[in-house]
């Protein structure tokens, strides 16, 4: 009976053109995230909220909401994003400006990048990145990218300036890196790409060195032991956690660094806690899981590029946004990148980013379904 049930599930997904290995990777990452959020927050939540399950319950609710978002997004035809691309660009900029309206935007640790919705705070820059790439995917499908790259760069610069005004330098860098990589893989001429990079170097340089706290982060990255109790503290605590885990870890729930030593242990530095509790071997397994996840999307991207340029552009932008975020999180945790407030996709605690990940998966599933429909129609046409 169980075998028949499994066979029915496989046939259900296969009939809709869905990649089972891809979905298995997503499910595995979500479950690992649920377990690690519980493990990394139980002591902190008990001390701060007198409820050891405080973060776990909220994270579980966000997973349920995420599945709801996924099911809705997976029903939206890809043509909708193509037809209304210009409105997504407009929304990306307007939504990013909303945080500066008194009484609407919420300031946390000196940064105003959230809108308080009551039951959770929405980080607008996360949504703006997706909206920008939905517009860009359609725009370069309609127009020659090389002839219009400066126009695209102007809109990108406007959005980057609005995001950096929220003191969200990390999101701005993620958006910029994703755009540069997207442009390169979309065959933008190298000279045009060099021009964009040349124009961008000085402003980014100034944004770093005109703000002392960013300079301190950079110096801490170079030599964290120069300020072990200040700007270098997070990097040192993260490295201590990873090194103390050894090959097999100290055991699930047995982390020492999560006991009020490592800040943001359930979000920005959750990889360090995973390494401490479950060890190097499990980290390798986790990296293999991410490798399979991203490789399946890239394979899907190559197949889709033969069917629809617009859909393939969306896939490329989504995989780059997730991949670069994953790499930054990993590099920060092992001390190879300056500290940035960036979670590990599907695993870190965080409402907006987790919901956005489910949105990405919903869009990818929709494209898979439409590809299957196009293929089926082509087969029937050939049979006639």
pLDDT for 184 beyond 90: yes
pLDDT band at 382 (very low <50, low <70, confident <90, very high): low
- 260 and 374 assigned to the same domain: yes
Look up residue 200 and give its two tokens.
């961008």
CA distance 125 to 249: 35
Lowest mean pLDDT among 11-15, 98-102, 129-133, 270-274: 11-15
* DSSP-assigned states of every residue in 130-175: HHHHHHHHHHHHHS-HHHHHHHHHHHHHHHHHHHHTTT-HHHHHHH
The chain-wide mean pLDDT, for the chain, equals: 89
CA distance 157 to 162: 9
| 265 domain residue, yes or no | yes
- 188 and 287 assigned to the same domain: no
Answer with the one of 210, 235, 270 that is the final residue of a domain.
210
- 124 and 249 assigned to the same domain: no
pLDDT for 3 beyond 70: no
- 328 and 197 assigned to the same domain: no
pLDDT for 8 beyond 60: no
Lowest mean pLDDT among 172-181, 212-221, 288-297, 308-317: 212-221
Using an 8 Å Cβ cutoff, are 359 and 346 in contact? no
Using an 8 Å Cβ cutoff, are 99 and 126 in contact? no
As a whole number of Å, the end-to-end CA separation of the chain is 39
Answer with the one of 190, 210, 230 that is the final residue of a domain.
210
pLDDT for 377 beyond 90: no
Mean pLDDT for 39-66 is: 93
- 263 and 331 assigned to the same domain: yes
CA distance 264 to 270: 8
Report percent pLDDT > 90 for the chain.
65
| 232 domain residue, yes or no | no
Using an 8 Å Cβ cutoff, are 359 and 69 in contact? yes
Q: Which residue would you say has higher pLDDT here, 222 or 363? A: 363
What strand order describes the sheet that includes 121-123? Answer: 105-108, 111-116, 121-123
Mean pLDDT for 246-270 is: 90
- Output the CA angle 167-170-175, nearest 5 degrees: 110
Task: Residue 168: name the closest of 124, 215, 212, 218 by CA.
Answer: 124
pLDDT for 200 beyond 80: yes
Mean pLDDT for 129-133 is: 96
pLDDT for 383 beyond 70: no
pLDDT band at 173 (very low <50, low <70, confident <90, very high): very high
**pLDDT tens-digit map of 323-364:** 999 999 999 999 988 888 789 999 999 788 999 999 999 999
pLDDT band at 2 (very low <50, low <70, confident <90, very high): very low
Mean pLDDT for 55-78 is: 95
Residue range of the domain that includes 35: 19-73+245-384
pLDDT for 311 beyond 70: yes
| 307 domain residue, yes or no | yes
- 61 and 110 assigned to the same domain: no
Using an 8 Å Cβ cutoff, are 175 and 132 in contact? yes
pLDDT band at 168 (very low <50, low <70, confident <90, very high): confident
Q: What is the pLDDT of residue 293?
A: 97
- 253 and 383 assigned to the same domain: yes
Look up residue 334 and give its two tokens.
């092992």
- 379 and 268 assigned to the same domain: yes
Burial letters 61-87, b for 16+ CB under 10 A, else e:
ebbebbeebbeebbeeebeebbeebee
Q: What is the pLDDT of residue 302?
A: 94
- 100 and 166 assigned to the same domain: yes
- 200 and 258 assigned to the same domain: no
Structural domain count of the chain: 2
| 11 domain residue, yes or no | no
| 140 domain residue, yes or no | yes
Q: What is the pLDDT of residue 90?
A: 95
| 3 domain residue, yes or no | no
Using DSSP, state whether 103 is helix, strand or coil: coil
pLDDT for 107 beyond 90: no
Answer with the one of 162, 189, 210 that is the final residue of a domain.
210
Q: What is the pLDDT of residue 209?
A: 86
- 109 and 44 assigned to the same domain: no
| 216 domain residue, yes or no | no
Lowest mean pLDDT among 124-138, 164-178, 210-224, 283-297: 210-224
| 225 domain residue, yes or no | no
- 101 and 127 assigned to the same domain: yes
CA distance 136 to 138: 5
Look up residue 157 and give its two tokens.
């610069």
Mean pLDDT for 132-145 is: 97
């Amino acid at each position: 009976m169980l075998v028949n049930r499994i066979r029915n599930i496989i046939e259900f997904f296969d009939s809709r053109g869905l990649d089972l290995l891809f979905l298995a990777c997503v499910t595995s990452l979500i479950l690992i995230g649920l377990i690690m959020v519980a493990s990394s927050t139980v002591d902190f939540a008990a001390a701060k909220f007198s409820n050891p399950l405080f973060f776990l319950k909220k994270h579980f609710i966000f997973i349920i909401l995420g599945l709801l978002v996924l099911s809705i997004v997976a029903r939206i035809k890809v043509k909708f994003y193509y037809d209304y691309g210009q409105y997504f660009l407009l929304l990306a900029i307007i939504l990013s400006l909303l945080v500066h309206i008194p009484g609407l935007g919420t300031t946390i640790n000196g940064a105003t990048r959230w809108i308080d919705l009551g039951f959770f705070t929405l980080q607008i820059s996360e949504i703006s990145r997706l909206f920008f790439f939905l517009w860009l995917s359609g725009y370069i499908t309609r127009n020659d990218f090389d002839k219009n790259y400066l126009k695209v760069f102007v809109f990108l610069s406007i959005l980057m300036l609005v995001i950096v005004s929220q003191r969200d330098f990390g999101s701005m860098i993620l958006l910029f890196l994703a755009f540069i990589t997207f442009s390169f893989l979309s065959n933008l001429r190298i000279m045009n790409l060099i021009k964009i990079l040349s124009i961008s170097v000085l402003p980014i340089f100034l944004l770093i060195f005109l703000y002392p706290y960013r300079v301190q982060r950079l110096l801490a990255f170079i030599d964290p032991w120069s300020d072990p109790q200040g700007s270098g503290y997070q990097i040192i605590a993260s490295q201590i956690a990873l090194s103390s885990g050894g090959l097999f870890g100290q055991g699930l729930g047995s982390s020492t660094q999560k006991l009020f030593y490592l800040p943001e242990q359930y979000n920005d530095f959750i990889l360090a806690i995973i390494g401490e509790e479950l060890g190097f071997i499990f980290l390798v397994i986790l990296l293999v899981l991410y490798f399979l996840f991203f490789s399946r999307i890239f394979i899907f991207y190559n197949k889709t590029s033969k069917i629809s340029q617009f859909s393939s552009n969306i896939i490329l932008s989504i995989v780059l946004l997730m991949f670069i975020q994953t790499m930054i999180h990993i590099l920060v945790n092992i001390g190879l990148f300056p500290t940035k407030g960036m979670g590990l996709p599907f695993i870190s605690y965080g409402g907006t980013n987790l919901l956005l990940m489910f949105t990405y998966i919903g869009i990818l599933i929709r494209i898979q379904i439409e590809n299957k429909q196009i293929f089926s129609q082509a087969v029937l046409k050939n049979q006639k």
